[in-house]
Structure 1
Amino acid sequence: MSSQTLIFKKRPIVLLQGEPLLLWNWQQQPQTLLQVLEAKKVRIFSECRSGYCGCCRTKIRSGSVCYLTEPLAELQDDECLPCCCIPEEDLDLELSCRGADMPLLAEKYRA
């Protein structure tokens, strides 16, 4: 008799320069990374929202993303286009957390 093992994948954490911003929940909020960053008041410039222009190009400090729409803009290995991707694993972005709607935990450790 064999037993079944359930394997749960941990939801990724999105960080800004090492500061935790949010626990990613794609199933409840089917949005791109850009939409979620904007909702959290993260300062990021964007134009097309389809991966064509590359205006939202963001440096990845660690982690990886998967694309909902394959970007046409040329990217380096350590860059992503938040307008058309979601995190695959914990993702640390080279974006400022100044002015962002961050968890209280991050504020506590910044002081």
Structure 2
Amino acid sequence: MSSPTLIFKKRPIVYLQGEPLLLWNWQQEQQTLLEILESKHVRIFSECRSGFCGACRTKVRQGSVKYLIEPLAELAADECLPCCCIPNEDLDLDITTEGADMPPVYQDKYA
């Protein structure tokens, strides 16, 4: 009799133009990617709450998302709607880091 195999899925890292922003927390699955980005003061235009679907359309440089609800707007293969998705794997978005609460960059203190 073999023992059950546990499979752990790595938590995704969200990047902005190649710069790490956050390690996605499974408790954050209750929030959309847009809500998390806004909480980190990322500058992202959205009119979703005003009924204009597609305003938060964002280019995905690398990675993929999982939609919590099916988006109404048509998307290109390299785009996502942060208002209704979460990262499915490491995700690099084409969004500026300007103004965002980015984690500190640790430098080698012996350099």
| TM-score, normalised by the number of residues in structure 2 | 0.89
Q: Which residue pairs with 1:84 in the alignment?
A: 84
Q: Does 1:34 align with 2:34?
A: yes
Deviation string, structure 1 residues 15-52 (Cα, Å, up to 9, x no partner): 00000000011325510000000000000010124996
Alignment of 1:90-101 (within 5 A): 90-101=90-101
- C-alpha distance in 1, partners of 2:21/2:45? 18
Q: 1:65 to 1:50 in 2, by over 3 A?
A: farther
SS in 2 for 1:15: strand
Cα deviation, residue 62, structure 1: 0.3
- Asked if the contact 1:65–1:80 (Cα under 8 Å) also holds between the matched residues in 2, the reply is yes
Residue identity matched to 2:37: L
Distance of aligned partners of 1:28 and 1:69 in 2 relative to their CA distance in 1, 3 Å threshold: closer
Q: Distance in 2 between matches of 1:79 and 1:85?
A: 11
1:1-111 matches, cutoff 5 A: 1-28=1-28, 30-49=30-49, 53-105=53-105
Tell me if structure 1 keeps the 8 A contact 2:64–2:87: yes
Change (3 A) 1:29 1:78: closer
Q: Distance in 1 between matches of 2:51 and 2:82?
A: 9
Question: What is the SS of the residue equivalent to 1:61?
Answer: strand
Residue 69 (structure 1) shift: 1.1
Letter of the structure 2 residue corresponding to residue 73 of structure 1 = A
Count of residue pairs brought into register by the alignment = 107
Q: Which has the larger radius of gyration?
A: 2
Unaligned runs of 5+ in 2: none
